[in-house]
Amino acid sequence: VFKRITDMNQSGNHEAIRNEKDPFRAISLFLEFRTQFIIKYYNILEFLKNFNPRQIPVELQPIFSNLQKRELKTLTTIIEKGVEAGLFKIDDVKAVAELFFDMLDGFRQKSLSKVNFFPEKKQFQSVLKREKEFAAIFFKGLTK
Q: How confident is the prediction along the chain (144 residues), in pLDDT tens digits per residue?
A: 777 877 776 666 778 898 999 999 999 999 999 888 878 877 776 666 665 556 667 777 788 788 888 889 999 999 999 999 999 989 999 999 999 999 988 877 777 666 656 677 788 888 889 889 889 888 887 666
Question: In degrees, to the nearest 5, what angle opens at C-alpha 117 toward C-alphas 115 and 118?
Answer: 85
Find all residues with CB under 8 Å of 102, minimum gap 6, and list them. Answer: none
- Name the pTM for this structure: 0.79
